[in-house]
Amino acid sequence: MQIQVLCYGATRRHVDGDVIELALAEPATVADALSALSSVSTELAELLKQCAVAIGDELVRRNHPLHAGDALALLPPVAGG
């Protein structure tokens, strides 16, 4: 299946552009998408260990099943204020 990955915060420093198109074998979970992204670089792989993932305005867990066309937001550690 094809999904989109939307990069936020420091994850943008490890990829070209803010959106990544990712092809995954079915069935796939959030953990499978993170595993595929970890091959981009060791720096991104380290940061992904600390990332939350959202679909729409909902946080989803690593065992959440993915569907074709999903857009996953990568949310690294937050620092507002």
Partner 1 sequence: MDFNRIQTTPLSLDALLAGTESPECGALTVFSGTVRDHHEGRSVLRLKYTSHVPLAERMIREIERATCAKFDVPLCRVVHRIGELGIGESAILAIVRSGHRAEAFAALKYLVDQVKHRVPIWKEEFYADGSSAFVTGCCIADDADDASHAGDHDHAHHHHAAHTHAHTEA
Give residues in contact with partner 1 (CB under 8 A): 8-10, 13, 43, 46-47, 49-54, 56-59, 61-63, 73, 75-81
Q: Judged by CB, which is closer to partner 1: 61, or 67? A: 61
Q: Judged by CB, which is closer to partner 1: 23, or 69? A: 69
Provide the minimum distance between the beta carbon of 68 and partner 1 in the complex, in angstroms, as a whole number: 22
Contacts of 42 (CB under 8 A, 6+ apart): none
- Give the number of other Cβ atoms within 10 Å of residue 55's Cβ: 17
Two tokens, residue 65: 């099943």
